[in-house]
Amino acid sequence: MSSEEATAQQSQSLVGLLAALESIGPAAQEAIAQAADAKALEDLRIEYLGKKGKLSELNQRMGALDAREKPIAGKALNLNKNAITDLLRQRQESLSARELDARLATEAVDVTLPGIRPQRGALHPIALMTREITSIFRSMGFQVESGPEIETEYMNFDSLNIPREHPARDMQDSLFVDRGYVLRTHTSPTQIRTYLKMKPPFAVITTGKVYRHDSDATHSPMFHQMEGFAVGEDISFGHLKNVLYEFLRALYGKDVKVQFRPSFFPFTEPSAEVDVWSEARGCWLEVLGSGMIHPNVLRNGGIDPEKYSGFAFGLGIDRLAMLKYGISDLRLLFENDLRFLRQF
C-alpha cells in the first residue's frame, strides 16, 4: 500500500476521523480564548459549527463508516460540538461583562449634577386679562355667549343702528370678506344674536377677536373686545353705573377713581364713555363705552322696547392689559417674543 493510499484509506476510517477531531478540539479552544470581540466569535462559530464548517465536514465523512463505527463517531462528534458551543458561550459572556465594565468606567453618570429644567408654557397676557374680566362678571351673575368672527354686514352694522353712511362702514376701517360679509369690527353684533335667541331677563358677556384696517403702536388690525349687556324690565342707567363701578373696583382696586362722560354711539341712547384716573400718568384714561340700548336695536333683536330696557358696554381687552401690565406698545402683545411673554 502506498502512503497516499494509506492516507486516503485512513481519511475514510474511524481512526482517521477521531484523529481529526482530536486536533480540532484544542485548536478551537485556543482560537476562542483569543477572540477579541463578538465579531471574531461569530467567525469562529461559522468556521467550526457552520453548515460548511469543520465539524460538518467530518459529519459527512461518517457516511463511509460501517454501521458498527457510526455511533462511536457520532458520539465523538457530538461531544466536540457541545464542547465548542459551550466555549463560545462562555467567551461571549466574559466579553460582554468586560464590555459593560469598560462602558461603566467611561460613561459614569454624576448624579449630583444639576438637572435640566423642562420649559414651561404660560398664559398670554390677553388670555390672563380675558379670564380675569370674565370671572369678575360671572361673579356678578353674567353668563358667557359667543359670536362668529365673520359677520354679515347686517349684523355688524344695520342691526346695531349704524346707518349706511356711517364712517365705520368705510372700506378703510372694515375688512370685507365678501359681498355682505365682514370680519366683525366689534363684539356688539353678539348682542343681536343673543336677543334673537334668549328671553329677558338676562345678563350676558362675550369676548373675542375683532378686526379693523388700522395698525400702529396703539392699534392692531386684530384686537380683542369684551361686550356686556343686560336686558329686563325696569333696567336703568343706575344699574349700568353700579355694574361698571363694581367691575372697575374688582379690576383696579377699591380706591379706583372713575368718571362717566357723555358720549355718542349709534346703538345706545344715552351713551357714556368711562374713564379711569391714572396716578402714574396724571390723567384720565378712557377704558370703555356704554349706554342704554337703543330701542331700534332691541326691536331688531325681537325685543319689545316698550316692555323691556337694557344697558350695554364694550371694552378693549388689549388696552386693559396694556394699562394693567404697563405695556407701552400694543404690538408686543402679538409678536410672541418669549422674552416678553415670560414676564407674565
Q: Sheet holding 258-265: strands in order across?
A: 143-144, 202-211, 222-232, 309-316, 283-293, 268-278, 258-265
- Using CB under 6 A as the criterion, which residues of the chain lie in contact with ligand DAH when the complex forms? 186, 188, 227, 265, 268, 289-291, 312-314
226/245 Cα distance (integer angstroms): 16
Q: How many helices (H) and strands (E) does the chain have?
A: 13, 10
Share of the chain residues as helix, strand and coil, in percent rounded to the nearest 5 = 50, 20, 30
- Least CB distance to ligand DAH at residue 247 (A): 14
84/179 Cα distance (integer angstroms): 88
- The angle that helices 14-34 and 54-61 make with each other, rounded to 10 degrees, is 170
For ligand DAH, the closer of residues 41 and 274 by Cβ is: 274
300/295 Cα distance (integer angstroms): 9
Q: Kindly state the DSSP code that residue 199 receives in the 8-state scheme.
A: P
C-alpha cell belonging to residue 296:
331700534
- The residues that bridge with 268 in the sheet, in sequence order, are 265, 293
- Least CB distance to ligand DAH at residue 298 (A): 13
For ligand DAH, the closer of residues 47 and 269 by Cβ is: 269
- Least CB distance to ligand DAH at residue 173 (A): 11
For ligand DAH, the closer of residues 301 and 314 by Cβ is: 314
- Least CB distance to ligand DAH at residue 122 (A): 29
Closest to 14 in 3D by CA, of 67, 52, 78: 67
Contact 17, 61 (CB under 8 A): yes
- Least CB distance to ligand DAH at residue 342 (A): 31
- Least CB distance to ligand DAH at residue 124 (A): 22
For ligand DAH, the closer of residues 28 and 203 by Cβ is: 203
For ligand DAH, the closer of residues 80 and 161 by Cβ is: 161
For ligand DAH, the closer of residues 207 and 290 by Cβ is: 290
For ligand DAH, the closer of residues 73 and 293 by Cβ is: 293
Residue nearest to ligand DAH (CB): 314
